[in-house]
Amino acid sequence: MHIRPSGVSPTLHGPRRPRAGPRAGLPSAAMSTKLRILVVEDESGIADTLQYVLKSDGFEAVWCETAEAALASFAAEPPALVVLDVGLPDLNGFELFKRLQDRMRRGGAPEVPVVFLTARSDEIDRVVGLELGADDYIAKPFSPRELVARVRTILRRSQRGAAAAPATASPPPAAPALPFAIDAERMLIRYYGRPLELSRYEYGLLRVLVQRPGRVFTRDELLSLVWDESSDSFDRTVDAHVKTLRAKLRAIAPEVDPIRTLRGTGYALAEDLPAAPV
């Protein structure tokens, strides 16, 4: 889900606002203007780095140190995307996210994707659990290049969604059809309609991957998301479980390998899976 900014008309803005065009700051087809990224982060070192990499990649970066400042900035001019730190001094990032959603949902303006910055694994759990509907998250410490790549991917996706939908109604872009169906209550995942018999960790791994097709998860991320902190787990633990998971997937669709391996990095769910098992 995206935050929908209130329908602030450009005519309500003051004349001194530096706008290159009537749709500046929105993820529109007019790519001649810089897309505006709102960075909500109270640590100035991180904020500086973020602004630097975003600007050198051709974005306009706007920095807010507090949730209150972010709410004001968002209301004044909705950005193309928000990078939102979970640990803020006045409100936590989750609460700010909800307030932005509540406040903006009534408007009919384009949706604004949100990427969370998280420092703790329990925060990552909440984001990945998708209860919040954020578009993605980056775990601290993060690679600035990775963040910019993530931002670009999300903006491309949201621009495709905006182009496909009429301007007046903007439902969240439909997820690509996947051969997976997660039944969280039963801790069961179906693959091409057939239930997989998975161990607890296999289930956890596959669930994380399926919930974010195309998103690359490092082994460390997968360890912190799926395994207990107390358990003896290593990178090889992830690899071993991916191996057994793949065998179970192959048993259903021998020619399909839905889990991509990114050498030296981690794993991702393939986005272009056949509609029927091959």
Site for Ca ion, rule CB under 5 A: 42, 85, 87
Do the Cβ atoms of 117 and 13 come closer than 8 Å? no
**DSSP of 36-94, one letter per residue?**
EEEEE-S-HHHHHHHHHHHHHTT-EEEEESSHHHHHHHHHHS--SEEEEES--SSS-HH
Nearer to Ca ion, 10 or 87 (CB): 87
Angstrom distance (rounded) from CA 12 to CA 14: 7
CB of 10: closest distance to Ca ion in angstroms?
33
Nearer to Ca ion, 147 or 155 (CB): 147
Question: Which secondary structure element, helix H or strand E, spans residue 241, and what is its range?
Answer: helix 235-252
Grouping H, G, I as helix, E, B as strand and the rest as coil, residue 217 is strand
CB of 41: closest distance to Ca ion in angstroms?
6
CB of 42: closest distance to Ca ion in angstroms?
5
Strands lying side by side in the sheet with 259-262: 217-218, 266-269, 259-262
Nearer to Ca ion, 46 or 259 (CB): 46
Q: Which residue is nearest to Ca ion (CB)?
A: 87
- Please give, one letter per residue, the 3-state secondary structure of 151-182: HHHHHHHHHHHHHHCCCCCCCCCCCCCCCEEE
Nearer to Ca ion, 42 or 239 (CB): 42
Nearer to Ca ion, 84 or 245 (CB): 84
Residue type, 125: D
CB of 123: closest distance to Ca ion in angstroms?
11
CB of 179: closest distance to Ca ion in angstroms?
39
